[in-house]
Structure formats: structure tokens, C-alpha cells
């Protein structure tokens, strides 16, 4: 059994330290207030049992809470007060050097919390450590100077979560849709170097990767580009290649001339034209392959300033094309992207494995969702890719057009800005929809489970608490918004001056982009499942539970609508992808309310509106139920179904895909893609328990060395490949199959 210290390091549990602390307090009170040695032993045993029952490493603060509770229960109030005073004095001493200690623990690779915070960051390498060190400083300044005490206390207590405090000291934003079309067609500037319009598809792909790397270094969230913005350069390359082939033929004119006895037998031009087109298309395909390969390999080999591969999503939407020629060229690019992702990338051992990025978004449309559709072959390819490499995810154009209605009354379809964050529809000054070049200002999440537990199950009190907590979130979101106000375009030229988001002038502020719906700011929510169960005793899958869940979602939407109307800021409701926060919230709930069966008895809480991972439900029922909640989460949401290895059952994958098209806006299939570098096993790597901690193990050779295991799992809408904290690991372990 282990303990997480305050600096994040993980050490072996020691009951002797608990005993020593109690004896220290016991020695400073009069005889009538003292505990007998056997009484102290009993309390130590009770605290030890309490920690063991958590089935995860206990935090030092948790352990001290347990000690306080048992001391007070013993009736020795003076002793309890002395222990509390001792604890307070120690806290004041630590407060002066906590940040220093945490930074040193990051450098020395002892900080377990940081090591498991992000499943796509390698905490061993210097760039990641540099980012974490800067993050510790940012969090320290944020806590001491930038957040009011009540918001900070709510954040630390797990009542709300103020996201990305490790970047908040800077004037940076969350995620965006990169306006790649503007940057490629009109040129851009990278590191004070002019990048002009590319003259080939391969060059356009190379420039796109440079843009993505620069954008990732100037923000802290995800970014999405569209293949549609690269598609026009296929025709540019086609024209260039065709001219090259013609010139080659001019050097050897006799090659096609059908001459006999000095007489031209027939017109050779049709054969020449056919040859030119055949060679042109062959060479064009080769260039498309090189260009796509550039994107895949550069994204997976680049490490940005925050110590990770750029969090990039690539949108594949045929109906974005401006004409049929461009759509056909876009289909060529999509086909190549899917083929290369099916192949994967090679790991250190030279074995093909599943990369985490780029995340692929495949839009389902009328002509790629039926077997007689023109582009059905692409959907078949996408299904094979999903079965082997977990992506692409699927966006239903049909349902999105119903859900995303703009002020003109028209439906809109466009990609998310990362794993699930969606913009709300926006019309520019000409009344035309605008998606690319827009962004999200940041997120604050409300812990719905805490609100339910704080109410004691009393519905009237619950709604009162919700009002209080929502206003707390509102104030926290205002702080995020105001942190961006006054930001000058010069702080991130690639974003604000050179087209990724805008074309502002040097010295101009971004303020006008923060109002009127151009950007969004997100109220996140987590734990709807546990909230509903605590309040009604029913599951979200039961009618009474579902009705209460819908009422909660409507309450959240009413709040964002009220704030938006009053302030002209586009507040939007967002189903938060809480990777590390799911663990933090669970620990805080257990500290505040103890173990409540079905509510706080896990080391994680359920993401957003999702059906709990342990709940038996079939794939189609899950998607149908969650579609109703997804429609009430306009700022972002994604649903998934957990499936076994489907590589030999592609028709079943296609059946789910078609169901997504007809029923839900955005969904994915979760499967597994693993490899053991020790023995070559490529089946599912298992999760086992070791000394009270969950670890990954190869079932074939029992290798537990994480550095020699390649494990890919869907975490929060995106793929994680660097392992996870204990809460998320337990959640992954307990997932049931839906198909």
C-alpha cells in the first residue's frame, strides 16, 4: 500500500508515521486528555484499514483527515485540537517551499501525480519536464495572485475544476479550428519568414505541419485542420505533373508514332493523351502518398514546447469540397490518410503500432453511408482503420445539421476543435457561416456529484446548491475571459497576425474576437451518472433517472444562455474530457462524503453524461440514449461504444457506423491496440493489481515494464499512449463491452 505525498511523490505506507504524529500531540495535553497506548494502536489500525479500503494510494491530507475524525470520535477533544494545531503549523511551514519541492520532484522523476497527469506526455524527457516546471510556477502564481480565495478553495476541494492553471499565467487560450485555407492560399509568416502559396500538394502538406507545430506551441488545447483546405493543391500538382510528362514526350516524339514505310498509319493523339493521363495520375498518387506521409510522420516526431506531440485532429468531410472535381481529389487524399493510418507507425523495435495523433474525424454523409453510394468504399476503409487503429471518429452530417442551427435558421456541419469541443454556429458580417479561425477561451467544470452529495439527496436543496455552484463557475469563467482581454496580437503572431485565427495588426488587441459569438467559453460538467443516482436512486438508463438527468442538463443550459444574453460572450455547455480530474474529483468526494455505494465508491467519476463504464448496455441503446444528452451539450460532447477486436468483423463495425449516421452527432468505437516489446505479443495488455496499485502486464510473458509496452487506449475522446493515473486506469479496467 502506497501514499501520495504533498509534493506528488509516491512512497510506501507507514503506520509508524501515523502513530508518531498522534504520540506527538498526545504528549502535549494533560493526563485527562491523553489516549492510552492501546487506544492509539486502535486508531492507527482503523486509519490503516480505511486507507486500504480505498484501493488506491491515499493522500497525506486524506490520512490526516482520517486521524482527526477518529480522534474526535474518541471524545478526546483537547487532543484532537492539538493534532489539528500541529497539522496547521506544519502546513504553514510547508507553504513557503511547496512549489520548490514539487519542481524538484518533477526533475527527479519522483512526482507520481505529474507522471500520470497526461497520457500523451513522457515525463522523463527534458521538454516535458520543462513544461511541468513552468506549469508548477504558473499554478503557484495563479493560486496566490490570480484566483479569489473562494474559487481557489472550491477548485482544491473538487467542487469545481479551474482547468489548465498550469498555463493560466500566460495570455493563452484553449483550442481552435485552424484557418488553413487562408494561410495556404494567401500565405503566412513563420518565425518572421514569409511562406508563400505552395505550388504542389507535397509542399502544402509540409507547410501545414509547420503551421500545426507553431499553433500547438502558442496554445494549450487541441487544434483541427481540414483536408479540404489541402485538396485544391492536388489539382495544382496534377497540372504541373501533366506538363512535365508532356515535356518528356516532346523529347521522344517517335515513341508513339505508328509509322510504316514512312507513312503515318493513324492519329496517335488519343494514345498519347491516354498515356499522359495515366502517367500523370500515377505520379500524382505518389505525391499524395508523400504528402500524407509527411503529415503523419512530422506530427508524430515533432515535440512542441509543452513537451508532447501536437494535439491535432484532421477533418475528412467530402461535402466541404467546392465542386465535384475537388471532391474527387479530396477522396484521393482521404483514402491515402486512411491507408497510412491502417499501416500505423513503427515503434523503437521497428514494429507497426497505433499512433496517438493525428486524431482523424470522418464525416458521414449521404453518399458514403450506403453500399451504392459513390464514396462507400471510403467508409469501408474507415471501418477497417477503426477496427485496427481506434480512429477515425465519426461525425454525422445528418444529425449535426439538425443540432447546429444558426441565426438564419440553417443547419451547419463542421469539425470539433480537438477531442470534443464544438463551436456554436456563427455568421460573419456577410451573413455567411464561419467555422475556421475561431477558438475557445477556456473551461471551468462543475462537479455534479458533489452538488448531489452536498444536498443529501434533498431535491430542493440540490437546485439551490446548483445555483450557488453555477454562479461560482460563472465568476471563474469571467476570470478566464478577463485574462485574455487586452492581449495583443504580437504574443502569438501565427495565431493572431498571420492567419491561423486572425489577421490583426501588430499592437492590436484580440478583444473583438472575445465577444459576439466569434469565440466560445465553456462551462464543463462531470459526473451526471453519479449525480442522478445519488438524487433519485435510479440509473440514467432508467426513465426516472433519465428525466432527472435531462432536467440537470437543461438547468446548465439555462445558466449559459442567461450569461450569454447579459454579456455578449458565447458561454456554451461542454461535456468535459476529464482525464486526471476524474481521479481528483473522486478522491475529493471520498474525503468529503466517505464511500457511498454507486456514487463515490470508485477512484473515478463518469465523464460528462456518459453511461457508467460498468453498466451492461448494448451499443445501439447506449448511442440512442446518449444522443439526447449530446444534443443538450452544444459546446462539446462525444459518445463511444466499447468493442472487442473487430478486425475480422468489419460488417459489424459498418453497422455501428450507419447507426451513428442516423442517430447521433459524434461518436467513436473504442477497441484495443497493444504490443509487448519483450515477447512480441500483440493482443490486449491487461491491468493487474500489485501492492494495492494497478499496473499494466503482458499476459503472455508477464512483462510489467511500461517502457517496453506499447498500449493505446481511448481516454477522453482521444488516444492515450503513455499510461494513466490510478483513477483512469481503474476506469479502463472496468469497462464492459457494448458489442
Distance CA(213)–CA(611), nearest Å, equals 36
Helical H runs in 227-323?
232-251, 269-301
**Catalytic residue from among 51, 175, 535, 676:** 175
**Catalytic residue from among 172, 174, 200, 306:** 174
Q: Which helix (H) or strand (E) holds 107?
A: helix 98-107
Q: In this structure, what C-alpha cell is assigned to residue 93?
A: 511551514
CA 494 to chain centre: 23
3-state secondary structure of 411: strand
Please give the backbone phi and psi of residue 526, each rounded to the nearest 5 degrees, phi first.
-145, 150
* CB contact at 8 A, 67 and 89: no
**Catalytic residue from among 579, 642, 668, 697:** 579
Distance CA(223)–CA(552), nearest Å, equals 30
Distance CA(564)–CA(552), nearest Å, equals 19
Q: Please, what CATH class does the domain formed by 149-172+434-621 belong to?
A: alpha beta
Q: Catalytic: 421? A: yes
**pLDDT in the model for residue 21:** 85
Distance CA(207)–CA(50), nearest Å, equals 56
**Within 10 A of 666 (CB to CB), how many other CB atoms are there?**
25
**Catalytic residue from among 421, 447, 633, 725:** 421
Mean pLDDT, to the nearest integer, of 660-673?
95
Q: pTM of this prediction?
A: 0.86
Q: Catalytic: 663? A: no
- Give the DSSP letter of residue 35: P
Bridge-based pairing of strands 176-177 and 193-195 is unpaired
* CB contact at 8 A, 158 and 447: yes
Q: Catalytic: 175? A: yes
For residue range 466-525, list pLDDT tens digits in order.
999 999 999 999 999 999 999 999 999 999 999 999 999 999 999 999 999 999 999 999
Q: Catalytic: 579? A: yes
For residue range 449-473, list pLDDT tens digits in order.
999 999 999 999 999 999 999 999 9
For residue range 233-260, list pLDDT tens digits in order.
999 999 999 999 998 887 766 556 666 6
Lowest-confidence range among 40-44, 256-260, 578-582?
Answer: 256-260
Distance CA(709)–CA(205), nearest Å, equals 32
Q: Which helix (H) or strand (E) holds 132?
A: helix 126-141
Q: Checking phi first, is residue 549 left (phi over 0); if not, alpha (psi -120 to 50) or beta?
A: alpha
* CB contact at 8 A, 276 and 242: yes
For residue range 340-356, list pLDDT tens digits in order.
999 999 888 888 988 88
Q: Catalytic: 97? A: no
Q: Catalytic: 138? A: no
Lowest-confidence range among 77-81, 84-88, 611-615?
Answer: 84-88
Q: Residue 375's pLDDT band (boundaries 50, 70, 90)?
A: very high
**pLDDT in the model for residue 194:** 96
**pLDDT in the model for residue 309:** 77
Q: How far apart are the first and last CA of the chain?
A: 36
**Catalytic residue from among 222, 527, 717, 727:** 717
Mean pLDDT, to the nearest integer, of 13-28?
86
Q: Catalytic: 574? A: yes
Please give the backbone phi and psi of residue 176, each rounded to the nearest 5 degrees, phi first.
-160, 165
Q: Catalytic: 717? A: yes
Mean pLDDT, to the nearest integer, of 609-616?
96
**Within 10 A of 297 (CB to CB), how many other CB atoms are there?**
14
Percentage, residues of the chain above pLDDT 70: 92
3-state secondary structure of 5: coil
**pLDDT in the model for residue 177:** 98
The answer, yes or no, to whether residue 631 has pLDDT greater than 90, is yes
**Catalytic residue from among 426, 525, 574, 666:** 574
CB-based contacts of 87, cutoff 8 Å, min separation 6: 64, 68
The answer, yes or no, to whether residue 112 has pLDDT greater than 70, is no
**pLDDT in the model for residue 33:** 78
Nearest to 667 by CA among 711, 615, 611, 721: 611
- For CATH 3.20.70.20, the residue range(s) in the chain are 149-172+434-621
Distance CA(123)–CA(106), nearest Å, equals 8
**pLDDT in the model for residue 625:** 98
**Catalytic residue from among 416, 417, 535, 698:** 417
How many H helices and E strands in the chain?
24, 25
Residue that has been written with the C-alpha cell 460538467 in this structure: 525
Distance CA(531)–CA(539), nearest Å, equals 10
* CB contact at 8 A, 202 and 292: no
**pLDDT in the model for residue 94:** 54
Q: Checking phi first, is residue 734 left (phi over 0); if not, alpha (psi -120 to 50) or beta?
A: alpha
Q: In this structure, what C-alpha cell is assigned to residue 662?
A: 442516423
* CB contact at 8 A, 638 and 575: yes
**Mean pLDDT estimate for the chain:** 90
More confident residue, 58 or 148: 148
The answer, yes or no, to whether residue 639 has pLDDT greater than 90, is yes
Amino acid at each position: 500500500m502506497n501514499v501520495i505525498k504533498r509534493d506528488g511523490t509516491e512512497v510506501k505506507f507507514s503506520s509508524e508515521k501515523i502513530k508518531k504524529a498522534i504520540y506527538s500531540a498526545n504528549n502535549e495535553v494533560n493526563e485527562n486528555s491523553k489516549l492510552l497506548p492501546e487506544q492509539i494502536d486502535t486508531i492507527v489500525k482503523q486509519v490503516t484499514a480505511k486507507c486500504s479500503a480505498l484501493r488506491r494510494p491515499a493522500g497525506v491530507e486524506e490520512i490526516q483527515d482520517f486521524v482527526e475524525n477518529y480522534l474526535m470520535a474518541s471524545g478526546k477533544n483537547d487532543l484532537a485540537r492539538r493534532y489539528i494545531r500541529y497539522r496547521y503549523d506544519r502546513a504553514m511551514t510547508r507553504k513557503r517551499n511547496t512549489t520548490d519541492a514539487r519542481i524538484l520532484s518533477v526533475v527527479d522523476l519522483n512526482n507520481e501525480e505529474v507522471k500520470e497527469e497526461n497520457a500523451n506526455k513522457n515525463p522523463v524527457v527534458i521538454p516535458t519536464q520543462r513544461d511541468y516546471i513552468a506549469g508548477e510556477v504558473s499554478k503557484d502564481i495563479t493560486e496566490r495572485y490570480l484566483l479569489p480565495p473562494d474559487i481557489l478553495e472550491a477548485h482544491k476541494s473538487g467542487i469545481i475544476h479551474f482547468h489548465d492553471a498550469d498555463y493560466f499565467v500566460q495570455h493563452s487560450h484553449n483550442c481552435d479550428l485552424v484557418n488553413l485555407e487562408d494561410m495556404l492560399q494567401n500565405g503566412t509568416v513563420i518565425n518572421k519568414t514569409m511562406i508563400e502559396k505552395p505550388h504542389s500538394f507535397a509542399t502544402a502538406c509540409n507547410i501545414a505541419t509547420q503551421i500545426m507545430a507553431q499553433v500547438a506551441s502558442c496554445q494549450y488545447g487541441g487544434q483541427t485542420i481540414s483536408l479540404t483546405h489541402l485538396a485544391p493543391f492536388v489539382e495544382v500538382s496534377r497540372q504541373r505533373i501533366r506538363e512535365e510528362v508532356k515535356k518528356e514526350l516532346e523529347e521522344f516524339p517517335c515513341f508513339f508514332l505508328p509509322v510504316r514505310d514512312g507513312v503515318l498509319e493513324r492519329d496517335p493523339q488519343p494514345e498519347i493523351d491516354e498515356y499522359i493521363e495515366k502517367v500523370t495520375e500515377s505520379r500524382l498518387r505518389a505525391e499524395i502518398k508523400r504528402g500524407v506521409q509527411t503529415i503523419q510522420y512530422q506530427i508524430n516526431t515533432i515535440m512542441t514546447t509543452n513537451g508532447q506531440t501536437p494535439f491535432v485532429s484532421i477533418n475528412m468531410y467530402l461535402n466541404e469540397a467546392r465542386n465535384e472535381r475537388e471532391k474527387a481529389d479530396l477522396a484521393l487524399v482521404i483514402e491515402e490518410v486512411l491507408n497510412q493510418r491502417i499501416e500505423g507507425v513503427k515503434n523503437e523495435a521497428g514494429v507497426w503500432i497505433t499512433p496517438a495523433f493525428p486524431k482523424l474525424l470522418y464525416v458521414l454523409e449521404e453518399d458514403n453511408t450506403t453500399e451504392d453510394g459513390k464514396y462507400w468504399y471510403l467508409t469501408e476503409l474507415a471501418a477497417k482503420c477503426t477496427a485496427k487503429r481506434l480512429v477515425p471518429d465519426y461525425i454525422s452530417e445528418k444529425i449535426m445539421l439538425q443540432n447546429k442551427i444558426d441565426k438564419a435558421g440553417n443547419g451547419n456541419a463542421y469539425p470539433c476543435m480537438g477531442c470534443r469541443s464544438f463551436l456554436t454556429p456563427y455568421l460573419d458580417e456577410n451573413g455567411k457561416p464561419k467555422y475556421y479561425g475561431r477558438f475557445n477561451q477556456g473551461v471551468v467544470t462543475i462537479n455534479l456529484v458533489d452538488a448531489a452529495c452536498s444536498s443529501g439527496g434533498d431535491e430542493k436543496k440540490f437546485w439551490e446548491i446548483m445555483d450557488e455552484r453555477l454562479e461560482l463557475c460563472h465568476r471563474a469563467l469571467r476570470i478566464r475571459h478577463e485574462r485574455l482581454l487586452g492581449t495583443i496580437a504580437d504574443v502569438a503572431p501565427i495565431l493572431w497576425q498571420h492567419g491561423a485565427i486572425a489577421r490583426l495588426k501588430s499592437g492590436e488587441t484580440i478583444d473583438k474576437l472575445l465577444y459576439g459569438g466569434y469565440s466560445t467559453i465553456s462551462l464543463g460538467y462531470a459526473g451526471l451518472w453519479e449525480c442522478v443516482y445519488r438524487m433519485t436512486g435510479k440509473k440514467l438508463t432508467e426513465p426516472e433517472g433519465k428525466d432527472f438527468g435531462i432536467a440537470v442538463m437543461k438547468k446548465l443550459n439555462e445558466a449559459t444562455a442567461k450569461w450569454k444574453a447579459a454579456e455578449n460572450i458565447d458561454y456554451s455547455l461542454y461535456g468535459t474530457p476529464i482525464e486526471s480530474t476524474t481521479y481528483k474529483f473522486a478522491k475529493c468526494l471520498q474525503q468529503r462524503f466517505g464511500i457511498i455505494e454507486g456514487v463515490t465508491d470508485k477512484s473515478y467519476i463518469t465523464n460528462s453524461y456518459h453511461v457508467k463504464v460498468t453498466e451492461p448496455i448494448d451499443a445501439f441503446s447506449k448511442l440512442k440514449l446518449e444522443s439526447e444528452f449530446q444534443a443538450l451539450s452544444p459546446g462539446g460532447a462525444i459518445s463511444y461504444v466499447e468493442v472487442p477486436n473487430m478486425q475480422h468483423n468489419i460488417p459489424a463495425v459498418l453497422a455501428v457506423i450507419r447507426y451513428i449516421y442516423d442517430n447521433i452527432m459524434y461518436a467513436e468505437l473504442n477497441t484495443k491496440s497493444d504490443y509487448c516489446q519483450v515477447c512480441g505479443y500483440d493482443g490486449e495488455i491487461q491491468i493487474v493489481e500489485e501492492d494495492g496499485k494497478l499496473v499494466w502486464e503482458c499476459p503472455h510473458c508477464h512483462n510489467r515494464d511500461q517502457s517496453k509496452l506499447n498500449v493505446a487506449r481511448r481516454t477522453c475522446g482521444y488516444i492515450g499512449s503513455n499510461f494513466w493515473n490510478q483513477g483512469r486506469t481503474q476506469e479502463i479496467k472496468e469497462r464492459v463491452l457494448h458489442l
